[in-house]
Amino acid sequence: MKVTYYPGCSLESTARDYADSIEGVCGYFDIQLEEVPDWNCCGATAAHSVDHKASVELAGRNLKLAGMLPNEDMLVPCPLCFNRLKAASWAFENEERDRYSVQLETRVPEVWDMANFFATHDMLKKLAGSVKKPLKGLKVVCYYGCMASRPPRVTGVRDYENPQSMDRIVKALGGTSIPWPYKTDCCGASLMLSRPDMGYRMVGKLYDMAQRVGAEAFVVSCQMCQSNLDMYQDKIEAEWGRKFASPVFYFTELIGLACEVPEVSSWLSRHFADPRPLLAKKGLLP
């Protein structure tokens, strides 16, 4: 299967670990990623609040380039990028097209959030049929953040209050996904830099609730969420006066773990909150 792939800026730099896990898992399932040629920044996170026209045109250019490739589907691993690409697509369909210098003259592929793509019926069957080491006994909460599902009129997501894609993936891998009320709460995003006091409170609330429902780890599909939940645990624990010790997995890492993708050990070694003691305790360490 060949698909169009838009990595976005952070997967080329600070989120290279996420990119490696995506490439490893897609390679394992023979999903060929054809990168959008000469792609540019999608405009996240500031463009849409500074210049609406520019924000649509930045993302629109990527859609136009993607339309020149023959693939029907376009995978976008970053929820922020996915949100901006969907917003541009929606704008071209629902606003006056002539107001934009970029024109979508070609066919535009179906834009997929990466987790939603892996949670389709066919992909879940492939996942379940490829599991070599079921994630039995691993209890997690799936944290979606706020960008991959909202606003629903733009993203087209129906279960935007209670998304299920990663929950279904965890179940297919043999793990336990625990329902919880903070699936789509904000992680604080860049507040971790400008107002860490607020960011620590927002993420601390997520840690607290995950612990209260009995989860041992988080599963995410967003590199911003992963960074905010993973990097600052020691500071947040000091702020709250409590020990959380909650590993934060990308869903692609769990796929690699359950399917015994060879590179998974390298991915897991890059976390700040080391997930390996928990995996060793569960008999899941590769």
CB-CB contact of 175 with 135 (8 Å): yes
Calculate mean pLDDT across residues 85-103: 88
Domain map (residue ranges) of the chain = 2-115, 132-281
Q: Whole-number mean pLDDT of the chain?
A: 95
Whole-model pTM: value is 0.96
Give tens-digit pLDDT for 240-281.
999 998 999 999 999 999 999 999 999 999 999 999 999 999
C-alpha distances (whole Å) from 45 to each of 34, 61, 112 are 25, 17, 19
Q: How far apart are CA 116 and CA 62, in angstroms?
A: 20
What are the residues whose beta carbons fall under 8 Å from the beta carbon of 98, sequence distance 6 or more?
none
CATH architecture of 132-281: 3-Layer(aba) Sandwich (3.40)
Calculate mean pLDDT across residues 138-163: 94
pLDDT at residue 285 in the model: 94
pLDDT at residue 134 in the model: 98
Give tens-digit pLDDT for 176-228.
999 999 999 999 998 999 999 999 999 999 999 999 999 999 999 999 999 99
CATH number of 2-115: 1.20.1050.140
Calculate mean pLDDT across residues 45-66: 89
**Which of 52 and 174 is assigned the larger pLDDT?**
174
Q: How far apart are CA 222 and CA 237, in angstroms?
A: 22
C-alpha distances (whole Å) from 88 to each of 48, 84, 165, 219, 220 are 10, 6, 23, 28, 25
Cis peptide before 151 (omega within 30 of 0): yes
- Cβ count near 34 (within 10 Å): 15
